[in-house]
A and B are shown apart, each in its own frame.
Chain A
């Protein structure tokens, strides 16, 4: 599994090399990799109906509990097949769709990176690893959404998607760490067996909310849904991939994956069902009022995602059955319809449904694909979507009437939008339309047609899929998930409900124009819509940041020192007051020359304050320095004394060099500022003295110098402990320090050379 990921990431970086050979068919060439991965993973399909299929693990950062561990079970297999299968079709499609774009190699790099991250996400066994892939999908989708970076709207949409999903990702990271803390391992296989530990822990509500927050942002649940319609700024193949097999599925996947450990509690239900339920109605309702093909599809994705969370929240075996069916059928028809929208846009130059007429004659094969996908979307028999809808109704019926009514209403709305996408632009004005002016490129309808027929085929014969993939995946979530009853036609109450849904959906579609007019009054709510709040917040944040920087980084050294000293004074002073150690003052052992030296240092310090020329100030500061050197020398620290003496000498020389460049020695501060600074300095000095005195009376840790003294000769062959510490015991610190010194040198050099004002 690690090898497959390496292949994808490797190809992402190497594929620009192939471009010069055959630009036209590069999509076909690249599709070979996901296709072969699809076949490889398809080999596991049908082998067994339960348990883990393969597992592998490598050490990465053992001290952090981070392992490169992966496992494949039926749940991940389902996602893997979607990612690689749809991925291959998307690559072929993009080759034709973006064929003449100059940055095609960038695009494929981003897309493969995205594919690899998503694959890693569903295969990861380690939660931290999963989080890394999670963030990688956010990152690569940012690159993909902003692919047309010359457009402002694309850049903003990319940033918006990135900010929202990363915000959720951060919250999720905290949740992941909490889980690791409770369970004591980040391995999913360990976590899943620790349900009781997790549910009984007092941090359970917090960690569940954090994880759910991450999943809701990723899977575009209200009120974080708005990044997804914004993301249609991406090239259409990206939208097709993003909405069907990847990105938005990540949140669903993680929730499903963790549901055996975190699920079936009150909180789980009340978190998922209301948010999912609201999102599914809201998304489907909004979709009905849009006129851009991609926007309609985007809002219907939001609706379906809400439906998936809703089902997961209900949590019964039947509900999970319905959810799995919906997940797979949605991925198939949504990818197909997005590619159809892309093909329409590519050939007709517009995606506005009111401007598209009689496309069935102009692009007959694309229209066939659209109709097949839309039938699945609408839940019509004999397509897979029909079984998904039946499954949903069965579980909602079992859960209670209110759930059924909400579910039916959302499905009616979806039925109407399916007509709007798959039928309206293709058959309106069919007779008046002229035949195909030019043949649509094969690569543009291959993908949608494949997926459309797959939906039909799986709808006619769902047996194998259900038995080997969906039922085992459902049983992972809920052991009570029984057989799915897909493919079994009989007169049932659910069938009657479906008929009502079709009728209601058709009426909604028919009276859509009237609904749009009366719906305008709802536009006032746009003022408080989450998207607007986000934009306003972002705008103010962008104003606030420079304001804050300007006030904190105002360029005056004295201000920086004031802030730093004040901060240290307040924080350290607080800790100082709390510490219980006594201060003892004992001057009895002080010798006369020590008094003299101290007097010299204090005297020179005070003198510095009152001299009126730079030269005198520099000289009196040097006296302070020399005093300190003498103290070091007196107390058996020759290395420190030598170093400080040399530094003092060098500083003196440098300052004298600079004398002629300095401005006139003048007072920059007023009387009160001087008083304030004086008080601050005095307090700071007193604090440091106090801390030193306290440390003297307190022995928190055993002194480390004993170890150094004992081992310096034996381990490091050196008698000078200070030097041995610098170059051997603490060599890494020194390496860091000389690097900093180098950077400082380069900094001074460039500041002066480049004359940065």
Chain B
């Protein structure tokens, strides 16, 4: 499929921005509007755009991973974050927190719920990509 130069060019510029944006929305989610689900939706928009601009073959070649494995990893991460407190002798899904100092940014609180959000992100991205890819291939 041959697409316009304008679409290809704008896709090249937009996709990195969308991916960055999706990570950013994922990470800020705990304290501001956003989160794993929203971030994943933005991420999948990036893939849709790539599909429209470059077609399926080039998009797949560009991806370093199989979207199917993303789902499995995501589910494991989410479940792991819920099971980790059990390993520590606490309840299932009990949130565990640790405060880290990041240079230039300052204090930041990290915890298992954020890890869980990362799992959600991976599952949603993976599932949407599978759906979009299969529809596109058909």
Contact = CB atoms under 8 A, between A and B. Distances in A.
Q: Do A and B bind each other?
A: yes
Interface of A: 638-639, 642-643, 646-647, 649-650, 653-654, 657-658, 661, 715-720, 722-724, 726-728, 731-732, 734-735, 738-739, 741-742, 744-746, 748-749, 752-753
Contacts of B123: 738, 741-742
A722 B113 CA distance: 13
Interface in B118-138: 119-120, 123-124, 126-128, 130-132, 134-138
A484 to B, nearest CB: 57
Interface in B30-85: 30-38, 41-42, 44-45, 48, 52, 68, 71, 74-75, 78-79, 82
The 10 A-B pairs at the shortest CB distance, nearest first, are namely A745-B127, A646-B41, A638-B33, A719-B31, A723-B35, A718-B30, A727-B113, A738-B123, A752-B134, A728-B113
A742 B113 CA distance: 20
Interface residues of B, number: 49
Nearest to B37: A643
A720 B35 contact: yes
B109 interface: yes
A723 B117 contact: yes
B133 to A, nearest CB: 8
Contacts of B93: 728, 731-732
Given A654-B135, A745-B131, A752-B138, A738 B120 contact: yes
A727 B35 contact: yes
Contacts of B128: 650, 745
A618 to B, nearest CB: 15
Contacts of A744: 127, 131
B34 A742 contact: no
A748 B134 contact: yes
Interface of B: 25, 29-38, 41-42, 44-45, 48, 52, 68, 71, 74-75, 78-79, 82, 92-93, 95, 97, 109, 111, 113-114, 116-117, 119-120, 123-124, 126-128, 130-132, 134-138
Contacts of A738: 74-75, 78, 119-120, 123-124
Given A723-B35, A745-B126, A646 B113 contact: no
A734 B120 contact: yes
Contacts of A745: 71, 126-128, 130-131
Contact of B42 (A646, A727, A735, A746): A646
27 contacts: A639-B35, A639-B38, A642-B38, A643-B38, A650-B128, A653-B52, A657-B136, A658-B135, A716-B111, A716-B113, A717-B95, A717-B97, A722-B33, A723-B30, A723-B117, A726-B36, A727-B30, A727-B114, A731-B116, A734-B78, A738-B74, A745-B130, A745-B131, A746-B71, A746-B130, A749-B68, A749-B134
A108 to B, nearest CB: 37
Main secondary structure of the interface of B (DSSP, over half): helix
Given A654-B135, A741-B123, A752-B137, A727 B36 contact: yes
Contact of B135 (A717, A718, A727, A752): A752
A58 B62 CA distance: 57
Contact of B95 (A650, A716, A742): A716
A720 B34 contact: yes
A721 to B, nearest CB: 10
Contact of A742 (B33, B109, B116, B127): B127
Given A727-B35, A738-B124, A753 B134 contact: yes
Nearest to A718: B30
Contacts of A724: 30, 113
Contacts of A735: 78-79, 82, 116
Given A719-B31, A745-B127, A731 B48 contact: no
